[in-house]
Amino acid sequence: MEINEETGELTFDGKVYDLEEIGSPSVWEIDVQELMTLNFSTETFLDGLMVQTHSPDGFGTFLFHELEFYKTDGKIEVVFVCRQPNG
């Protein structure tokens, strides 16, 4: 897993992905179906990388339609995001 800041690309398992943002954090948005085919470990996951995905059915909950995860203090943290319209 490697980020090329000049091209804005992430290389992972021999594939090259475009990043949405470069910086701290760098943001990688990926389709949920493709995400489910990948394997991550805390040893190889990059500090400063946030992975984001979206699920039309809310990951089966119809509530949490977005998910993001990142590495902090040697652990991968997962955040489910619920967006509700105002009024």
Q: Tell me the C-alpha distance between 60 and 37, whole Å.
A: 18
Burial of 8 (0-12, 13-18, 19+ CB in 10 A): middle
What's the pLDDT score for residue 86? 62
φ, ψ dihedrals at 62, nearest 5°: 55, 25
Find, among 3, 4, 8, the residue nearest to 18 by Cα: 8
Tokens coding 25:
């954090």
Q: Tell me the C-alpha distance between 61 and 52, whole Å.
A: 17
pLDDT per position as a tens digit, 37-47: 999 889 999 99
Q: What's the pLDDT band for 53 if we cut at 50, 70, 90?
A: very high
pLDDT per position as a tens digit, 1-30: 999 999 999 999 999 999 999 998 999 999
Query: What average pLDDT is seen over the chain?
Result: 90
What's the pTM value of the predicted model, to 2 decimals? 0.86
